[in-house]
Amino acid sequence: MIKSLLNFKLITFYLGVMLISFSFYLTYQGFLFYILSKVIFVEWELFTLFGSSLIVTFILDWMSLTFMGFVMFISGMIFIYSTYYMEGDMFIVRFITLVFLFVLSMLLVIASPNLISILLGWDGLGLVSYCLVIYYQNEKSANAGMLTILSNRIGDVALLLSISWLAIYGSWNFYFFQLVYTNVDLFFITFLIVLAGLTKSAQIPFSAWLPAAMAAPTPVSALVHSSTLVTAGVYLLIRFNVMLGVNNILFYLGSLTMFMSGLGANLEMDLKKIIALSTLSQLGVMMFTLSLGFYEFSFFHLLSHALFKSLLFLCAGVFIHSMGDIQDIRYLSGLNIGCPVSSFFFIACSLSLCGFPFLSGFYSKDLILESYLLSHTSLFMLLIVLIGTFFTATYSIRLMMFMFFKNLGGKINISLGEVSGMILPMSSLFMVSVFAGNFITLLYIPCCFVFLPLFFKMLILTGIIGLSYMVFINMSVINLFAFKNLKNKIHFMGTMWFMPILSTYFFMPSLALGSALLKYLDQGWVEIISGQGMFMVMRKSGSQIDYFFSLNIKSYLLMFLMILIFLFFY
């Protein structure tokens, strides 16, 4: 047992160090490709059928190389972290195998401008994510896994339909089509790709599966909700930015997703679900940024968000691990005493999430909001975007109040402390997440000066400070009186506008219909008429034919007698 555990630690450390080494090299190459404006295409033709060539293509440019570097860096840190978090688990070998396959599937999606090879990584993400969500093998995990995979299958079907439609054009390399054909010619393809991106990134109305996927282990949550599964849809739409252009529908869906998830996070009590709803809110920010045509800013926010969100989940894993597997924030308090280093990282990443000046989230969010204020928009959508941004600060401060500044909650007495093996990868992620925003701005974002009136410039900062002060002062009042007077409205807002209920109970009759069709058609009449029935008929007729070819003594004498009679009468 001790030898197998030692081998497991060596494997995870080896994988972690290998991925981190590759990440530094790929990030450096991405910077060189950006400076030199260099793009490399690698094509491998498998076969040609009816004028359509099946070619596996890989694209190496500054965007794909940089994103692969970030994914490998975060994955390597999570591998090292998982060594201690999953210590003593019975199925740790299966866990590490699934996580590594998950990373490989994401790398295939990133480096592919071909829909065929994208589909391989896309389906790999969906299948492996299902296996990871049901990892703990209980009823809650099974339901969450089923909701996750069925929601993602909608996007998979859309991707398959787009592959079938692109067969008309003779190839599946969409990277060239969007530069040759107009948006009218590729309208149906654009619609299908947007549908696939919305399902994978959990935008309205497909948002229910993302909080449900929190049933997976915390290292998986850190990987899924930072840089892999949920960002695959955003990255795919970034690659299709020429076909999207300025998209109003995507703008409305992204803004409403940001508003809805931020509102739900202010009323949630589960620690991991609050961070998951925070991820959903930031995905809404990326989507509405992409809809305005600022795909570089959306990619910038994707990178900065991946770093501090992965660290937030790792800090949450330390808290859950140290407090006896408790996720309800009402039972947690005084974590800054039992876990001081993780608490410091958690507060710093929460401030970065809020856009605190000179942290990584500040550079991307401030640039996005200032660019949005320069565009033409309605007052109603402006309020939705600003209030959704304010919610980021309110649920972050609320979470820190419950976990660090509350006197209630006796779970502090069972604190198991922090493990140095977990602190090392978290410290590396913390250093990178603090300074990455500044370096990305200097290296990749052109120098720009946004001139706004003082009122607009200070609008977000003053709004965040004002709302945070109101929440801080009136927290006890909200807890005592809000549920009495606004119970139904708060329940509606806290359940993501009933989307989890609609995503499950609304489709249960269709699942029952599928069960009936399977029982009475596929395993019933169709089986008797086609497969099983034909086999029984052929077996029966074959046995009758074999009767005349058997060489027993009775058949031999009968045949001899018939020949004699024939010769006698002839």
- Is 378 in the same domain as 255? yes
Domain range for 508: 495-529
Domain match, 381 and 478 both:
yes
Give domain status of residue 277, yes or no.
yes
Q: What is the mean pLDDT of residues 171-183?
A: 71
122-136, pLDDT tens digit by residue?
A: 888 888 888 888 888
Q: Domain check: are 476 and 543 in the same one?
A: no
**299 neighbors 359 (Cβ within 8 angstroms):** no
Query: Do residues 413 and 439 both lie within one domain?
Result: yes
Whole-angstrom Cα distance, residue 21 to residue 397?
Answer: 36
Q: Is residue 374 assigned to a domain?
A: yes
Q: What is the pLDDT of residues 375-403, one digit of tens each?
A: 777 888 888 888 888 888 888 888 888 88
In a domain, 59, yes or no: no
pLDDT higher than 60, residue 343: yes
**Do the Cβ atoms of 333 and 406 come closer than 8 Å?**
yes
Q: Are residues 323 and 451 in the same domain?
A: yes
Same domain, 395 and 430: yes
pLDDT of residue 1: 47
Measured at the CA of 81, the angle between CA 75 and CA 87, to 5 degrees, comes to 125
Which of 469, 486, 503 is a domain's end point? 486
Residues 512 and 400 in one domain: no
398, 547: one domain: no
Structure confidence at residue 41 (pLDDT): 86
Lowest mean pLDDT among 70-74, 186-190, 473-477, 525-529: 473-477
In a domain, 521, yes or no: yes
Tokens of 407: 């006197």
Lowest average pLDDT, out of 17-26, 215-224, 359-368, 532-541, goes to: 532-541
Q: Look over the chain and give the mean of its residue pLDDT values, rounded to a whole number.
A: 80
Q: pLDDT of 243-300, one tens digit each?
A: 887 778 888 888 888 888 888 888 888 888 888 888 888 888 899 888 888 888 889 8
CA 111/CA 103 separation, integer angstroms: 13
Question: Same domain for 562 and 462?
Answer: no
Residue among 223, 222, 288 at smallest CA distance from 254: 288
Instruction: Report pLDDT digits (tens) over 5-60.
Output: 555 567 888 888 888 899 999 999 998 998 888 888 888 877 777 666 677 788 88
The pLDDT value recorded for residue 73 is 92
Shared domain for 398 and 303, answered yes or no, is yes
**Is the per-residue pLDDT at 107 higher than 70?**
yes
Question: What is the domain count for the chain?
Answer: 3
| Residue 474: pLDDT over 60 | no
Among 93, 102, 77, which Cα is nearest to 315's? Answer: 77
Shared-domain flag, residues 451 and 481: yes
Nearest to 174 by CA among 233, 111, 115: 115
For residue 553, is pLDDT > 80?
A: no
Contact present, 272 and 214 (Cβ < 8 Å): yes
Higher-scoring residue by pLDDT: 159, 410: 159
Q: Report yes or no on 525 lying in a domain.
A: yes
Sequence-ordered list of residues with C-beta below 8 angstroms from that of 246, at least 6 positions apart, any chain: 291, 292, 293
**Considering the domain boundaries, does residue 197 fall inside one?**
no
For residue 476, pLDDT beyond 60: no
* Mean pLDDT calculated for residue range 195-216: 85
- Higher-pLDDT residue of 312 and 561 is 312
Same-domain status, 454 and 569: no
Asked which of 460, 486, 512 is the last residue of a domain, the reply is: 486
- Whether residue 411 lies inside any domain: the answer is yes
In a domain, 10, yes or no: no
Closest CA to 67 of 202, 175, 285, 227: 227
pLDDT over 80 at 412, yes or no: no
The C-alpha atoms of residue 237 and residue 257 are separated, in whole angstroms, by: 17
**Are the C-beta atoms of residues 450 and 374 closer than 8 Å to each other?**
yes
